């Protein structure tokens, strides 16, 4: 008699904090927040500006990034590994020039990959909790620890990646002297606030709605990050960002799941027989 093999849960699985956090459609706010934060590292944003077509194809780039993330989180072990291998091959071919020093550097520099990873996962977790997802501090630490598996996919040594909230705070403190508002960052900021939209959406409520989401994402960054952009880091902005995140989460949760759940996510639930 053949024993049925358990379904492949991938890197995380339905019992993980990662699945709970990324089941939140409000994370689109966290994704924008992470882009604002990542752009403050001069080399990180220079690498994007010099190697990416985000200005010509912003929605295509967003779709590709989203597909990678959802595959890493909800795909099978083989699918996640293949997605990581593609990213590593892509990064290995890229380099950029530091706009301040003129020095050429590799895009897959672990120092840069770590910054992008930490800004991303901290933004997702912070946004989910701010919007109303109830997680204990221990569960938040577990999320950071789980996400070291995702860091390994892009080529990082998991031991070098912050694995708790305290380690993330220490990491940010250590990185702050490297952060600055460069021309690339300023251009990315303007672009993220007003990206091109299809002509049929230009005069619709989509434009002001998106602007409100972008403003909330920006306001939800730490005060020190907003001040790097020349904005005020006042607590009132935090309160407004929290209110917006909670309202957006409530609104998105009223929509049919099929409108915001990716096919990879749905396939994972079906494969592992987990409820919606």
pLDDT digits (tens, 9 = 90+) for 204-215: 676 788 888 999
Q: What is the pLDDT of residue 1?
A: 37
Give the pLDDT confidence of 168-203 residue by residue, as tens digits: 999 999 999 999 999 999 999 998 988 877 655 666
Q: What is the pLDDT of residue 49?
A: 93
- 3-state SS class at 26: coil
Measured distance CA(30)–CA(193) in Å, rounded: 14
Q: What is the pLDDT of residue 13?
A: 93
Mean pLDDT within 110-134: 97
User: Does residue 5 carry a pLDDT above 60?
Assistant: no
User: Does residue 152 carry a pLDDT above 80?
Assistant: yes
Mean pLDDT within 42-51: 95
User: Does residue 235 carry a pLDDT above 80?
Assistant: no
151: CB partners within 8 A, 6+ apart: 113, 114, 117, 158, 161
**207, burial (CB in 10 Å: exposed 0-12, middle 13-18, buried 19+):** middle
Mean pLDDT within 110-120: 98
Q: What is the pLDDT of residue 210?
A: 84
Q: What is the pLDDT of residue 275?
A: 73
pLDDT tier for residue 3 given thresholds of 50, 70 and 90: very low
Q: What is the pLDDT of residue 220?
A: 94
114: CB partners within 8 A, 6+ apart: 151, 156, 160, 161
Measured distance CA(126)–CA(146) in Å, rounded: 16
**205, burial (CB in 10 Å: exposed 0-12, middle 13-18, buried 19+):** exposed
Mean pLDDT within 259-274: 90
When the pLDDT of each residue in the chain is averaged and rounded to a whole number, the result is 91
Mean pLDDT within 27-47: 96
How many C-beta atoms surround the C-beta of residue 77 within 10 A?
11
Percent of the chain with pLDDT over 90: 75
């Amino acid at each position: 008699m053949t024993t049925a093999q358990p379904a492949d849960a991938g890197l995380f699985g339905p019992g993980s904090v990662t699945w709970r956090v990324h089941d939140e459609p409000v994370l689109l706010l966290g994704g924008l927040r992470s882009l604002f934060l990542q752009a403050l590292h001069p080399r990180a944003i220079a690498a994007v500006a010099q190697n990416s077509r985000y200005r010509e194809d912003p929605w295509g780039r967003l779709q590709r990034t989203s597909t990678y993330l959802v595959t890493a989180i909800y795909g099978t072990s083989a699918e996640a590994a293949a997605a990581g291998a593609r990213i590593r091959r892509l990064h290995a071919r890229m380099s950029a020039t530091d706009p301040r020093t003129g020095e050429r550097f590799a895009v897959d520099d672990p120092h840069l990959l770590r910054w992008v990873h930490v800004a991303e996962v901290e933004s997702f977790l912070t946004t989910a909790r701010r919007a109303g997802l109830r997680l204990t501090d221990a569960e938040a630490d577990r999320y950071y620890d789980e996400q070291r598996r995702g860091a390994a996919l892009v080529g990082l040594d998991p031991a070098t990646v912050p694995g708790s909230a305290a380690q993330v705070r220490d990491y940010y403190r250590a990185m702050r002297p490297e952060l600055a508002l460069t021309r690339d960052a300023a251009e990315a900021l303007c672009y993220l606030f007003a990206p091109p939209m299809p002509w049929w959406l230009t005069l619709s409520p989509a434009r002001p709605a998106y602007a409100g989401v972008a403003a909330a994402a920006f306001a939800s960054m730490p005060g020190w990050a907003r001040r790097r952009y020349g904005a005020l880091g006042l607590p009132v902005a935090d309160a407004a960002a929290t209110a917006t995140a909670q309202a957006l989460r409530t609104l998105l949760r009223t929509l049919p799941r099929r409108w915001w759940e990716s096919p990879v996510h749905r396939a994972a639930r079906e494969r592992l027989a987990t409820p919606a």
